[in-house]
Amino acid sequence: MKKILNKTELSHHIDALKAQGKSVGFVPTMGALHNGHLSLVNKGLEKNDLVVVSIFVNPTQFDNQEDLVKYPRTLDADVALLLTLSDTTIIVYAPSVEDIYEGNVKSQSFTFDGLEHEMEGAFRDGHFDGVGTIVKRLLEIVKPDFAYFGEKDFQQLQIIKKLVELHHIPVKIVGCTIHRAEDGLAMSSRNTRLTKEHRVIAPFIYKTLKTAKVKFGTKSAKDVTEWVEKQFKKQPLLELEYFIIADTKTLKPVKRKSTKKTYRAFIAVYAGDIRLIDNIALN
């Protein structure tokens, strides 16, 4: 498997492949790969001649230094996992901070039609400026035909679609359904940092989302939200940060339900020090 550490070498390699008419898929990751990532890479492999997987823990999207320091870094294991999918049609791009930021580790400032102010944007200061900065830079370096993002970070997915639209970046963004463990917990690199106790209780998050979906069929968003908040108060090992039912397009919290709109419920929960997010389509 080709492992490339710098952008100039990667660009040359990709330019040569594109000159041969090959299509390029792209899966940006922060490493600590799991089956959720592998399903994105597989989607990319179905549609493209080759898939670039970037592995880069992007410092500018962390609002919490400790989270950045403790973020799992497992490059050798990541490469070994990707090898189980393909040796010849995957390129790993694992740049250094210097290769990406060239001595200026700062975010650009973005607006995304207001999507950036909701939920994760409200609770994680500067997060989407960091995500916008790295994704824009990576798309410019890799120049993929298709780029794949998981719906676990649904707000991120919507923001990246907006980024591409507003900045006229010639790539098709493909959203992929959430990959879950057998017990329902959404796959996340952070899951490996859960204590045994927290890992056992964490599927409660998705279980609650599923019941909230059923309740939303007959109850108001306010009633469902109050019900969810009550469930988490009874759960001492998990601390609810937010549960919000929002319009799928604008991500604004729903005030009055309309049959013409689609909604999604979004949740952020602390399991000890580990912050987990999840979401579910409601209609």
Catalytic residues: 37
The verdict on 30 binding ligand PAF (CB under 6 A) reads: yes
Going from the C-alpha of 210 to that of each of 120, 264, 283, the distances in angstroms are 21, 11, 12
Nearest distance from residue 217's CB to ligand PAF, in Å?
A: 31
Q: Which of 58, 107, 188, 191 binds ligand PAF (CB under 6 A)?
A: 58
The region of 9-17, 27-35, 67-75, 255-263 touching ligand PAF under the rule CB under 6 A is 27-35
Phi and psi based region of residue 245 (left: phi greater than 0; alpha: psi -120 to 50; beta: remaining): beta
Q: In the range 214-233, which residues lie near ligand PAF by CB under 6 A?
A: none
- 277 lines the binding site for ligand PAF (CB under 6 A): no
Q: How far is the CB of 281 from ligand PAF (least distance, A)?
A: 19
The least CB distance from residue 50 to ligand PAF, in Å, is: 19
Distance CA 198, CA 193 (A): 10
- For the record, the structure tokens of 135 come out as 């994704």
For residue 75, what are the contacts with CB-CB under 8 A and spacing of at least 6? 31, 55, 94
Among 116, 118, 120, 153, binds ligand PAF (CB under 6 A): 153
Count, residues near ligand PAF per rule CB under 6 A:
10
Which listed residue (41, 135, 139, 276) binds ligand PAF by CB under 6 A?
Answer: 135
Q: Is 29 in the site for ligand PAF (CB under 6 A)?
A: yes
Told to check if 131 binds ligand PAF by CB under 6 A, we report yes
- Which one of 7-15, 25-33, 192-200, 207-215 is the stretch in contact with ligand PAF (CB under 6 A)? 25-33
Output the CA–CA distances (angstroms, integers) from residue 64 to 45, 123, 272, in the order listed. 34, 11, 15
Other C-beta atoms closer than 10 Å to the C-beta of 30 total 18
Angle between helix 154-166 and helix 127-142 axes, rounded to 10 deg = 60
Q: Which residues bind ligand PAF (CB under 6 A)?
A: 28-30, 58, 61, 131, 134-135, 153, 156
